[in-house]
Amino acid sequence: DTAVSQTPKYLVTQMGNDKSIKCEQNLGHDTMYWYKQDSKKFLKIMFSYNNKELIINETVPNRFSPKSPDKAHLNLHINSLELGDSAVYFCASSQVLRGAGGTDTQYFGPGTRLTVL
Amino acid sequence: TQLLEQSPQFLSIQEGENLTVYCNSSSVFSSLQWYRQEPGEGPVLLVTVVTGGEVKKLKRLTFQFGDARKDSSLHITAAQPGDTGLYLCAGVRDSNYQLIWGAGTKLIIKP
């Protein structure tokens, strides 16, 4: 019944390693996102995909590469991990309602706490 | 530059007290949302306000959207420990429907 799921929940790794985080949504939404939440709890968008196409790519190091094999999945691969990459990474999905008073309710996964040692 | 400013950043009060959290911007939004995030979990939507001046109530929580659709407030009456969490506001822009997030207000209600 989980709407947006992420794996793993916790990830502890050494600097310089490459790691991936997986995300799946069963809500039938068209749009999926990756966010980074730092220690101060600020939620910063990294990427957004709509129907498997990249539509938002904020200023993120190119060591981060999202991949969307289909509409229900958006994975995040990180190369050459650095200490500053330590954070909680959230996946989210939404079905944007366009037009006057448009909304974009986002449904978040439980987060992946990444610790780089 | 933060497009959505939330204040206060941190608030710790006793159970039973009232409080108000603010979300301000110089930009106009198509709609504005409030989310609550509990430790170890992702944010969960509480409410969406769409019309300028709109007021929505969710039990002891009252949400208001400013007349000009640039700001919003969340008022909690008789706060309870279960209200503890990070409260995030997010505005939807007309142009691209992208959510703009505030930095959040961390609220602690002490028993």
φ, ψ of residue B20 in degrees (nearest 5) = -135, 135
Residues B4-8, mean pLDDT to the nearest whole number: 94
Listed in sequence order, the residues at least 6 apart from A59 whose beta carbon sits closer than 8 Å to its beta carbon are none
Asked if the Cβ–Cβ distance from A104 to B92 is below 8 Å, we say yes
Question: Which of B50, B92, B104 comes nearest A41 by C-beta?
Answer: B104
Could you give the percent of chain A with pLDDT greater than 70? 92
User: Which of chain A's residues have a Cβ under 8 Å away from the Cβ of B86?
Assistant: 41
The answer to whether B81 and B111 have CB atoms below 8 angstroms apart is yes
**What pLDDT is recorded for position A102?**
59
Instruction: Answer whether A100 touches B (CB < 8 Å).
Output: yes
The answer to whether residues A47 and A58 touch, using CB atoms and an 8 Å cutoff, is: yes
- Residue range B11-32, pLDDT digits in tens: 999 999 999 999 999 989 988 9
- A-interface mutation test, from B4, B30, B35, most A Cβ less than 10 A away: B30
Q: What is the pLDDT of residue B102?
A: 92
Closest C-alpha among A45, A117, A73, A8 to residue B98: A45
Neighbours of A14 (CB within 10 A): 8
User: A57-103 pLDDT, tens per residue?
Assistant: 777 889 999 999 998 999 999 999 999 999 999 999 988 766 555 56
Rounded Cα distance, B107 and B88, in Å? 11
What is the pLDDT at residue A101?
A: 54
pLDDT in tens, A34-45: 999 988 888 888
pLDDT, one tens digit per residue, over B31-74 is: 899 999 998 899 999 999 999 999 999 999 999 999 999 999 99
Give percent helix, percent strand, percent coil of chain B, each to the nearest 5. 5, 55, 45
Structure-block tokens of residue B26: 């110089």
Q: How far is CA B38 from CA B14, B35, B94, B103, in A?
A: 18, 10, 29, 15
What does the angle CA A45 – CA B32 – CA B8 come to, to the nearest 5 degrees?
80
Match 């939440």 to its residue by tokens. Answer: A37
Q: Is B82 helix (H, G, I), strand (E, B) or coil?
A: helix
Structure-block tokens of residue B59: 């039990």
Q: In Å, how far are A84, A90, B108 from A97, measured between CA atoms?
A: 35, 22, 34
The gap from C-alpha A10 to its chain's centroid, in whole angstroms, comes to: 14
Which of A57, A106, A113 would you mutate first to test chain B, the one with the most B CBs within 10 A? A106
